[in-house]
Structure 1
């Protein structure tokens, strides 16, 4: 029989001091989400443009699909950029203090 004590695990009152969790930054979350959306839209647009360009260079008929698709993708990208500009403008207005 052993008289050794089991190892002590640090409890809430022992060990590393408790570090408070930083508050949720809503503005940072929105901008990071928009960055992902814009990046994804750019990737899809570049892929579609590459496929249409490759078809055109190969001498195959492009047809009506490529121009229509690229216009729709560009319209979606423009609306996302407009949303980003509106959010940035709203953030700038909210930071302006009265009287300055």
Structure 2
């Protein structure tokens, strides 16, 4: 005879905020990795004596713009989460 398996503990409810923050962390990490690789390639090409302006035009501006938009998104999510908690 088989013994009855122990009852499973109930699953916790889906935490939407935690999910969004984890996804955001993955996006920020991926963005940082891509821009780091691009900066490394630009640096390597510059060390070879090529002018940086011809190889990586606008890389720093794109990097700054990407981090600015990511920071704005993070602050908006944190602000929304704070407002939601105040309403409860």
Alignment TM-score, normalising by the size of structure 2: 0.83
Structure 2 residue runs of 5 or longer lacking an equivalent are none
Runs of 4+ residues over 6 Å off in structure 1: none
Structure with greater helix share of residues = 2
Query: Do residues 59 (structure 1) and 10 (structure 2) align?
Result: no
- Higher relative contact order (CA closer than 8 Å, sequence separation 6+): 2
Higher-Rg structure is 1
Structure 1 residue runs of 5 or longer lacking an equivalent are 1-7
- Number of residue pairs aligned between Structure 1 and Structure 2: 88
Alignment TM-score, normalising by the size of structure 1: 0.74
Residue 73 of structure 2 corresponds to 83
**RMSD over aligned Cα atoms:** 2.0
Change (3 A) 1:70 1:9: farther
Query: Do residues 44 (structure 1) and 21 (structure 2) align?
Result: no
